[in-house]
Structure 1
Amino acid sequence: MLGLFRIVVGLLFACHGAATLFGVLGGPHGAAPHFAAWPGWWAAVIRLTGGALVLCGLGTRVAAVLCSGSMTYAYFDVHQAHAALPIENGGEPAAMFCWSFLLIAALGPGRWALASLVPVRRRPDAGGSGAGV
């Protein structure tokens, strides 16, 4: 179930980033942020790439922490000034994404992650025998 949750959250977040960057999927028509403009362009890039990484299950924990942080910033910078509660200030999506990515970062990618297909190289023990001192 966690793998499916990760896939859905990553897909929705990546679509949100694509909509902002490219004006697709009902995004801002003709109002895409200028290249490297802070914070709009960077937020959209984090949404697109972070969402895609979480969706695929590659670097999931790091990408999820970055995505959660970006939504924390979005909530407090954009929404919090208007009202205290997310229901009052339109910050529900930012809050939901923030906590969803934090959950994914804490629990890991779950099943169906591409990272599980990549073999993990382990470094040999420095002591050689593996016995503790």
Structure 2
Amino acid sequence: MPRRLRPSGDHLLGLFRIVTGFLLACHGVAKLFGVFDDGPVPVGLWPYWWAGLIELGGGALVATGLLTRPAALLCSGTMAYAYFTEHQPHGLLPLQNDGESAALYCWAFLALAVLAPAALSLPAAKLRLAAARGAKAHPPGTAVT
């Protein structure tokens, strides 16, 4: 009977990291370049332009697995700030104040900052590539001097 391919928990978290980072980076692109939106936010406009910069840069870093913990923590804090300053004054609950995405992103990035899954990241791929090159240069059973 063929063995089913089941992703490990690390790979599932890696996919979660990639998708979540990519989706936040899309929000940054929308703010900074006006894609899917009414137009770009004016450069330097507090807090929107800076939030877009953090969303694009932090989302890209998290998606690629580079500096995952600090980038995810910064993204989580940015989303908490967005929720409490932009959404929460319009109602107590996220369903009332249209803050569901900010709340979900905040908690998702906090989880990624704590867990920092390395599976499917650029640093892990670089290590695997270096190990593969080292194995080809030194076949098993040969001495390395």
Output the TM-score relative to the length of structure 1. 0.83
What's the Cα RMSD here?
A: 1.2
Answer yes or no: is 1:9 the counterpart of 2:17: no
Cα separation, 2, equivalents of 1:109 and 1:46: 20
Answer yes or no: is 1:107 the counterpart of 2:115: yes
Q: Shift of residue 34 of structure 1? A: 1.4
Partner of 1:23: 34
- Equivalent residues of 1:59, 1:115 under 8 A apart: no
Structure 1: unaligned runs, 5 residues or longer? 120-133
1:52-98 Cα shifts (integer Å, max 9, x gaps): 00000000000000000000000000000000000110000000000
1:77-127 Cα shifts (integer Å, max 9, x gaps): 0000000000110000000000000000000133011122456xxxxxxxx
Output the TM-score relative to the length of structure 2. 0.76
Letter in 2 for 1:99: W
1:46 to 36, 47, 54: 54
2:102 to 76, 94, 97: 94
Partner of 1:130: none
The count of corresponding residues between Structure 1 and Structure 2 is: 116
Structure 2: unaligned runs, 5 residues or longer? 1-11, 128-145
- Equivalent residues of 1:14, 1:50 under 8 A apart: yes
- Equivalent residues of 2:28, 2:55 under 8 A apart: yes
Structure 2 SS opposite 1:80: helix
Partner of 1:70: 78
Cα separation, 2, equivalents of 1:17 and 1:109: 23
- Equivalent residues of 1:61, 1:109 under 8 A apart: no
Cα separation, 1, equivalents of 2:14 and 2:31: 26
Rg larger in 1 or in 2?
2
Answer yes or no: is 1:37 the counterpart of 2:37: no
Structure 2 SS opposite 1:17: helix
Cα separation, 1, equivalents of 2:25 and 2:32: 10
Where do residues 78-89 of structure 1 align in structure 2 (5 Å cutoff)? 78-89=86-97
